[in-house]
Amino acid sequence: MSDQDLFAYPRGRLHAADKDLAASLQAMVQKEVMDKRLELKEDYDGLLAPSLARLMAEVGLQKMFWPEKLGGEEHNEPEAAYTVAAALEQIGRADVGLAFLAAHSLALQAAVAAKGSCREELCAAVAPLFCEGNRPLIVSFVLPAMSQDGGAPEWRGKGIQVRAKSGPEGWTLSGKAVRPTCSGADAGLFGVLCAVDGEEPAFILVPGDSHGISREKEFLKTGLAASRNADLDFEGVKVPAANCAWRGEEGFLNLLSWFYLGLAAAGSGALLAVYEIIKEWGDNRVIKGRGQVFKENPLTAALMGEIAKEIAVDRLLAYNLADILSDPQAYGDDGPLAVFTSALMLVHHIYVSAEYTIHRTMELMASAGYAREWQLERYWRDLKTVQCYLGAYELAKHDFARRFYHTKTL
């Protein structure tokens, strides 16, 4: 039994192809990322960009949902949620930043190109970016954010960062000091939630090379080296009318739900790596003189047990989210808001648990946990960064309250 198999997940729900994909990704990221990172550390050009290219373009994660006739793999049924979970878990185990980027791409594909909801004009406009050639496409989102501009139109209290106007020639977008969710410096496609005067918000897809987008210098951040983020300015950026993926909340909630699935799986995968690290430590470190192997000490063994428990539960939760997305009816089919709330609860739960778990692991490893060489600290920084980008847990709790208590004014 492999170490990963110790942590139960509903393997019966995965198709053979999902298992094969997970196995080949596991081998690939081991060789391409994990075996090289001691030497290459977080080198973007030397390690992360080539790995991203392999995953997205060569393995083809960026083609997964698109129709075959547009060059995609048309793996676009709701059950693809399991594929997303299985794939991103393996990538997250190697590098959370890579999984974070892949989660953006897969969420957008799921929201735009899912079976039955794929709008032909839109798919024809954007699928080539994903499916043609061998270059990886980095997808980034511009979501509502706490702002310093008090007058910005809001979504659930947060400022919508970009405004859009529609005209005969399509959409014109503007926004200053816009903070994307990832890769502001590199992204080839932005999914932007835009405020539209007097109307429902629009979710608009904006190719990264559109005229009028300027990118600030990459800023430094805690983790996620694969995402070279930078703030953006949108100055009269024009895109065709077809690039509006949807209006209103439903599509947006659906996108976020799939995005959270990706992040949940990435977190679960990272925690599997944490398990491997602490297991090696626990098998070999000796404390209390020469006598006691770490895992046999009652105090440290209890903590190691708790760490394993957290990881096991988080993995189940991540796959449970896949299950919800693969078959919402089975969960009561209460619509996208219900699915979104579940996704938000599960992903926050996983990230709170992940932070707790890695803190405990680091405490057991003392200086080794803090040293770059042991890799643990990298997961610690990366997962914390994802949690920050996920949004404030305190405010997510209002989303939970909205659903469970029908609050109206939050």
Partner 1 sequence: MRTIDDITRPLDYLPPAAQILSPIIRNWADNEVIPYRRQFDEDWEDHTLIHPPGKKLLGEYGIQKLLFPVDLGGMGFGESDYAFTSMFILGEEMARADSGLAVGLGVTLWPLMSIALKPHVNRRLLEEFAPLYCNTTEMISGALCMTEPQGGADIENVELLKGSTIQTTAVRDGDEWVINGHKLWPSNTGGMADLLVVVCTTNPGSRDPADVTLIFVPGDLPGVTQSGPYEKAGMACDKNGDVWLENVRVPLWYRAHGPGKDALFFLDIISIASGVTISFTSGMMMNVYERLLEFVNETKLHGRPLKENDAVAGVLADYTATLEVIRIVGYQAARMLDRSDLYGERWSPEMMAKMRSYRYFTMDRCLDVMGKVMNLMEAYGADRDRDIEKHWRDIKMNQLWLGGKQLCQIEAARWFFECETL
Ligand X SMILES: Cc1cc2nc3c(=O)[nH]c(=O)nc-3n(C[C@H](O)[C@H](O)[C@H](O)COP(=O)(O)OP(=O)(O)OC[C@H]3O[C@@H](n4cnc5c(N)ncnc54)[C@H](O)[C@@H]3O)c2cc1C
**Which residues are at the interface with partner 1 (CB under 8 A)?**
41, 145-152, 154, 157-159, 179, 181, 219-224, 285-290, 299-300, 303, 355, 359, 362-364, 366-367, 369-373, 377, 380-381, 384-385, 387-389, 391-395, 397-398
Q: Which one of residues 1, 220, 299, 330 is an interface residue with ligand X (CB under 6 A)?
A: 299
Interface residue with ligand X among 76, 300, 342, 353 (CB under 6 A) is 300
Residue closer to partner 1 (CB basis): 134 or 148: 148
Nearer to ligand X, 157 or 248 (CB): 157
3-class SS of residue 120: helix
Number of residues that bind ligand X (CB under 6 A): 12
Q: Going by C-beta distance under 8 Å and a sequence separation of 6 or more, which residues neighbour residue 75? A: 64, 65, 83
3-state secondary structure of 69: helix
Tokens of 363: 């405490």
Calculate ∠ Cα 201-205-211, nearest 5°: 110
Per the structure block, which two tokens stand in for 273?
A: 């790596």
Residue 220 makes contact with ligand X by CB under 6 A = no
Name the residue among 302, 313, 317 with its Cα closest to residue 360.
Answer: 302
| DSSP annotation of 35 | T
Candidates 112-120, 163-171, 295-303, 400-408 — which segment interacts with ligand X by CB under 6 A?
295-303
Computed from CA positions of residues 281, 368, 353, 260, in that sequence, does the dihedral angle turn out positive or negative? negative
Report d(CA 51, CA 186) in Å as an integer. 15
Site string for ligand X, 335-374 (x = CB under 6 A): ----------------------------xx-xxx-x----
Residues in 121-180 at the binding interface with ligand X, rule: CB under 6 A:
none
**Part in contact with ligand X (CB under 6 A); list of ranges 17-25, 67-75, 121-129, 296-304:** 296-304
Q: Tell me how far, at minimum, the Cβ of 154 lies from partner 1, in Å.
A: 7
Degrees to nearest 5, angle at CA 367 with 362 and 372: 80
CA distance 133 to 56: 12
* Residue closer to partner 1 (CB basis): 370 or 404: 370
SS3 162: strand
Backbone angles phi, psi at 214, to 5 degrees: -120, 145
Stretch that binds ligand X, among 215-223, 281-289, 332-340, 382-390 (CB under 6 A): 281-289
What's the residue count for the chain? 410
Q: Residues 287, 293, 352, 388: which binds ligand X (CB under 6 A)?
A: 287
**Host H or E run for residue 200:** strand 199-207
Q: Which does 167 bind (CB under 5 to 8 A by kind): ligand X, partner 1, none?
A: none
Q: Which residues does 361 contact at the CB level (< 8 Å), separation at least 6?
A: 274, 277, 278, 307, 369, 376
| Least distance in angstroms from the C-beta of 302 to ligand X | 10
Q: Which is nearer to partner 1, 58 or 154 (CB)?
A: 154
Measured from the CB atom, the residue of 53 and 301 that comes closer to partner 1 is: 301
Q: Are 271 and 354 in contact (CB under 8 A)?
A: yes
- Chain residues binding ligand X by CB under 6 A are 285, 287-288, 297, 299-300, 363-364, 366-368, 370
